[in-house]
């Protein structure tokens, strides 16, 4: 059964977003970072994008050392049906990893420049959006941007704050694949209502804690 945590203006669901999304009211924006479906291919080595990193070579798969976990079963890219659920949830979409999914042409791609010089690792990540604006770039080091990283594909908070700020006038935001809750922290910090879904109980608990901390911090500042 789905667990629901209400933390201030955030409502977090532990469960499969494909079951939860159709039950939710429509919101203003989807800002999300679904699994790209490339970690499971890490052993294939067929393209530079899926070649093993030194960390993967030693453990076989990408390992979240903090949680001492080495499974990437969650890394399954959303199907066409799951993408359709995202589009039904809100008029505005910011979808990280959009270059891996079957999405229509758009001018408003977002580029995260990870400021890392090694060409055998991805130097940028791309978000598909239907924003009405030109393509844009955000620079933030992948390592310096995620101090105390708790999810193997955690996004920098500064990057997700930028995304939330780009969603001008969007007071309610859903992240159906919230992982450690970075979108939720950014949304809460910028005073937006947030709904998040996460299927993995360990990452769900991390998201609950981070979003609760962000709310508490906001109250302290107020």
Ligand X SMILES: C[S@@+](CC[C@H](N)C(=O)[O-])C[C@H]1O[C@@H](n2cnc3c(N)ncnc32)[C@H](O)[C@@H]1O
Instruction: By CB under 6 A, name the binding residues for ligand X.
Output: 16-18, 33-35, 74, 151, 153-155, 176-177, 179-180, 182, 197-200, 203
**Distance from CA of residue 193 to its chain's centroid?**
17
Question: Smallest distance from the beta carbon of 89 to ligand X, in angstroms?
Answer: 13
In 3-state terms the chain splits into helix, strand, coil percentages (rounded to 5) of: 30, 20, 50
CB 84, min distance to ligand X, A? 14
> What's the CA angle centered on 196, arms 192 and 202, to 5 degrees?
130
Using alpha carbons, list the distances in angstroms from residue 9 to 26, 116, 166.
16, 36, 20
Q: Which is nearer to ligand X, 79 or 107 (CB)?
A: 79
Q: Tell me whether residue 3 or residue 107 sits nearer to ligand X (CB atom).
A: 3
Give the containing element (helix H, strand E) for 172: strand 172-175
- Distance between CA atoms of 212 and 186, rounded to whole angstroms? 12
Q: Tell the smallest beta-carbon distance from residue 179 to ligand X (Å).
A: 3
Closer to ligand X by CB, 81 or 219: give it: 81
**Closer Cβ to ligand X, 117 or 146, answer by number:** 146
Closest separation in Å from C-beta 159 to ligand X: 9
Q: How far is the CB of 222 from ligand X (least distance, A)?
A: 25
* Strand stretches in 10-166, DSSP E: 10-14, 29-32, 92-96, 110-113, 124-129, 136-139
Q: How many Cβ atoms are within 10 Å of 49's Cβ, its own excluded?
A: 13
Contacts of 63 (CB under 8 A, 6+ apart): 55, 56, 69, 70, 152
C-beta closer to ligand X: residue 3 or 117: 3
Nearer CB in complex with ligand X: 140/200 = 200
CB of 133: closest distance to ligand X in angstroms?
22
């Amino acid at each position: 059964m789905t667990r629901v945590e209400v933390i201030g203006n955030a409502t977090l669901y532990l469960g499969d977003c494909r079951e939860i999304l159709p039950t939710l009211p429509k919101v203003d924006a989807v800002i999300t970072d679904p699994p790209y479906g490339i970690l499971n291919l890490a052993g294939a080595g067929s393209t530079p994008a899926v070649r093993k990193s030194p960390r993967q070579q030693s453990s076989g798969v990408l390992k979240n050392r903090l949680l001492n976990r080495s499974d990437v079963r969650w890394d399954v890219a959303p199907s066409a049906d799951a993408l359709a659920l995202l589009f039904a949830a809100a008029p505005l979409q910011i979808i990280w990893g959009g270059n891996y999914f079957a999405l229509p042409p758009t001018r408003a791609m977002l580029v995260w420049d990870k400021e890392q010089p090694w060409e055998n690792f991805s130097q940028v990540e791309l978000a598909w959006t239907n924003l009405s604006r030109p393509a844009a770039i955000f620079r933030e080091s992948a390592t310096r941007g995620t101090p105390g990283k708790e999810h193997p594909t955690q996004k920098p908070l500064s990057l997700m704050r930028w995304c939330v700020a780009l969603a001008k006038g969007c007071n309610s935001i859903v992240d159906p694949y919230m992982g450690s809750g970075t979108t939720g922290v950014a949304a809460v910090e910028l005073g937006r209502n947030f709904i998040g879904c996460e299927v993995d109980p360990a990452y769900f608990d991390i998201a609950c804690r981070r979003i609760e901390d962000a709310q508490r911090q906001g109250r302290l500042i107020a």
